[in-house]
Amino acid sequence: GHTNAVWSVAFLPDGEQVISGSYDKSIRAWRIEDGREVGSAMRDGGAVFAVAASSDGQWIASGGSAKTIVMWDAKTHEKIVELNGHSTGVRSLAFSPDSARIVSGCNDGTVIIWSTTTGKRLLGPLNGHTSWVQCVSFSWNGDKFATCDDRDIRVWNS
């Protein structure tokens, strides 16, 4: 299991597994039925503050102190691509409902939307927060997304 604090968890869409990200620089998948680890740990370049799973079951994303978002194959746990563009650590992640985009919130208060198919930045960096972007979430139809810091919630058109 993890050897340091766990900062983030997310369910895989099959409802049978949960993933976790830790300060120990690992992302792990766990079988809900018996609590056993599934496959090998995914290793990030730094402490992992955020994990997310795409609704189509294809992707796991992680972000943290390494300033990148890593996209992993949800079945094989192989690293597929790194998304670079934040100047400080990535604090929060969320996939769009159609799994085509991912939004990331950063320690410097910025937000970026990325394409999961090309790995390219679609929008941002957006400014509007004065501290860490601790949470991000897409609306149910994906036309908006919300972000939050210590005091504020912002709603954006996506």
Domains annotated for the chain, with CATH where assigned, are 6-157 (2.130.10.10)
What is the distance, to the nearest Å, from the Cα of residue 143 to the centroid of all Cα atoms in its chain? 19
User: What pLDDT is recorded for position 107?
Assistant: 93
Q: What is the pLDDT averaged over residues 24-41?
A: 94
pLDDT at residue 17 above 90?
yes
pLDDT tens for 62-111 read 999 999 999 999 999 999 999 999 999 999 999 999 999 999 999 999 99
Whether residue 144 is predicted with pLDDT greater than 90 in this model: the reply is yes
pLDDT at 150: 79
Please report the pLDDT score of residue 37 as a whole number: 95
This prediction has a pTM of 0.93
